């Protein structure tokens, strides 16, 4: 046995040798990106529940030779090649290919919405239904970024997937992108979750720019108490009404409202507990790691990714501005009774955007307590971004 030849073979088969092969440097860069994302998730606590999983998926998929994820299989599946089915992917793919089936089939985002529904109290929205207008106003960035993406040379479905980053709703962005532009899933998911984590940095300067100190200091009256019956009827009414209006929203809105019904109906406590804890956690693990797996070096390191990151920031910022404009209009129409800061919470990102409204409101007036008022537009934003996604899916879907 030739020891030298054996050692050489071991070296050639190792992932280290692959770094020296053509294009291997790109993997090194992506591994560095994974480390940065892990740092942001663990040390800076930027959306850690998802970002840590996404970052680790990025790391695993870019370690040469790991064979956990096969982009070529998914390219063939998306292109509709004959015989390329989920069954074949299970047989020929790696672990992350199998987990990724749940993303591409739209299962994970919908199940996350089930958990979000179980965790969400729609009481503030029911107490002040006008909050829904702010949830609508704050979808402005979705459509402006969509338009901007078209101008930067993206196709309609790609632009729609980029625009939905402005909805500040990770599961919705992932759901729409897997339907319309799965090739962009990695950069879009990372941009969406990163900007959601950066909301406390992105929104306050815009809030100060768009409002006066007098407006920010407005104290709002406490909302009325909402009955249990209203809370039970609400998810049933919303699911029926919104799905009839836009059938393409059925997976997201259906799961969101089912989760909320589990929470409010009072007879499904065990299901409610599972939806918002065990199921949510399991799906979050699968979603994070399999979305991270799509950040293949060859695809991710491109000018296109930089454009997506820039457009995502534009989408987030304009959505915040849209919500604030809506808030200012309501401030004027209500004779100064509504604090316009609650408008920026319409971008979804529950509950972080509402917390930012609370913090900024208290800075202007230390006795201000806006959290509950901002929760109304905040949860309205979740429904608003689902409707926006449903519209884009109806226009660009197959």
Partner 1 sequence: MEHLSIATSGIIALLGYGVVFFGLVLLMIVVMILGKVMARSKPAAAPQAAEAAPAAEAEGTAGKIKLFDVPDRDAAMIMAIVANRIGKPLNELRFRSIKEVKDE
Q: Is 175 in the site for partner 1 (CB under 8 A)?
A: no
SS3 content of the chain, % helix, strand, coil (to 5): 75, 0, 25
Instruction: Please identify, among the stretches 61-69, 84-92, 219-227, 289-297, the one whose residues bind partner 1 according to the rule CB under 8 A.
Output: 219-227
Shortest Å distance, C-beta 330 to partner 1: 12
- Find out whether 117 and 229 touch, Cβ atoms under 8 Å: no
Q: Which of 84, 156, 282, 359 binds partner 1 (CB under 8 A)?
A: 156
Shortest Å distance, C-beta 235 to partner 1: 12
Q: Which of 223, 285, 309, 325 binds partner 1 (CB under 8 A)?
A: 223
Site string for partner 1, 118-147 (x = CB under 8 A): ---x-xxxx--xx-xx-xxx-xx-xxx-xx
Cβ nearer to partner 1, comparing 31 with 119? 119
- Closest to 188 measured CA to CA, from 209, 202, 167, 216: 167
Which residues make Cβ contacts (< 8 Å) with residue 378, sequence separation at least 6? 135, 345, 346, 348, 349, 350, 351, 353, 354
Angle (nearest 5°) at CA 48 between 158 and 275: 85
Give me the sign of the Cα torsion angle 346, 352, 355, 359.
Answer: negative
Structure token pair of residue 180: 């319309």
Q: Is 335 in the site for partner 1 (CB under 8 A)?
A: no
Q: Is 113 in the site for partner 1 (CB under 8 A)?
A: no
Q: Which of 29, 32, 395, 397 binds partner 1 (CB under 8 A)?
A: 395
Alpha carbon distances (Å) from 15 to 39, 148, 320: 23, 40, 44
Residue for token pair 């106003």: 137
Cβ nearer to partner 1, comparing 64 with 148? 148
CA 52, CA 35: separation in Å to the nearest integer? Answer: 10
Q: Is 361 in the site for partner 1 (CB under 8 A)?
A: no
Q: Is 221 in the site for partner 1 (CB under 8 A)?
A: yes
CA 9, CA 21: separation in Å to the nearest integer? Answer: 15
Cβ nearer to partner 1, comparing 40 with 140? 140
Q: Which residues lie near partner 1 (CB under 8 A)?
A: 121, 123-126, 129-130, 132-133, 135-137, 139-140, 142-144, 146-147, 150-151, 153-157, 159, 221-225, 227, 229-230, 233-234, 237-238, 241-242, 245-246, 351, 366-367, 369, 371-372, 375, 380, 383-384, 387-388, 391-392, 395-396
């Amino acid at each position: 046995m030739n020891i030298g030849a054996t050692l050489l073979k071991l070296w050639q088969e190792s992932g280290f040798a692959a770094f020296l092969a053509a294009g291997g440097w790109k993997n090194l860069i992506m591994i560095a990106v994974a480390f940065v994302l892990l740092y942001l998730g663990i040390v800076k606590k930027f959306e850690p529940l998802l970002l840590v999983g996404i970052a680790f998926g990025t790391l695993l998929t870019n370690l040469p030779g790991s064979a956990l994820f096969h982009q070529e299989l998914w390219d063939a599946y998306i292109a509709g090649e004959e015989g390329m089915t989920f069954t074949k992917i299970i047989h020929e793919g790696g672990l992350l290919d199998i987990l990724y089936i749940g993303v591409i089939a739209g299962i994970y985002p919908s199940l996350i919405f089930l958990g979000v529904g179980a965790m969400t109290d729609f009481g503030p929205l029911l107490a002040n239904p006008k909050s829904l207008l702010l949830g609508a106003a704050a979808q402005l960035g979705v459509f402006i970024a969509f338009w901007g993406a078209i101008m930067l040379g993206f196709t309609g479905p790609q632009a729609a997937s980029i625009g939905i980053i402005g909805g500040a709703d990770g599961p919705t962005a992932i759901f729409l992108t897997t339907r319309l532009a799965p090739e962009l899933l990695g950069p879009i998911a990372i941009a969406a979750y990163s900007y959601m984590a950066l909301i406390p940095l992105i929104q306050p300067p815009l809030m100060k720019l768009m409002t006066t100190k007098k407006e920010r200091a407005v104290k709002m009256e406490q909302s009325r108490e909402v009955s249990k019956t209203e809370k039970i009827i609400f998810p049933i009414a919303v699911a029926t009404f919104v799905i009839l209006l836009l059938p393409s929203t059925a997976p997201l809105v259906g799961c969101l409202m089912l989760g909320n019904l589990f929470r409010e109906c009072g007879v499904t406590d065990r299901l409610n507990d599972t939806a918002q804890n065990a199921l949510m956690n399991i799906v979050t693990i699968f979603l994070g790691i399999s979305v991270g797996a799509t950040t293949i070096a060859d695809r991710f390191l491109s000018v296109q990714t930089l454009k997506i990151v820039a457009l995502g920031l534009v989408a987030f910022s304009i959505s915040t501005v849209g919500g604030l404009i809506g808030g200012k209009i309501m401030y004027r129409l209500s004779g100064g009774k509504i604090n316009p800061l609650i408008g920026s919470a319409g971008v979804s990102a529950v509950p972080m955007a509402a917390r930012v409204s609370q913090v900024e409101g208290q800075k202007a007036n230390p006795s201000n307590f806006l959290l509950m008022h901002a929760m109304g537009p905040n949860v309205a934003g979740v429904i608003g971004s689902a409707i926006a996604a449903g519209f884009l899916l109806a226009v660009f879907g197959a």
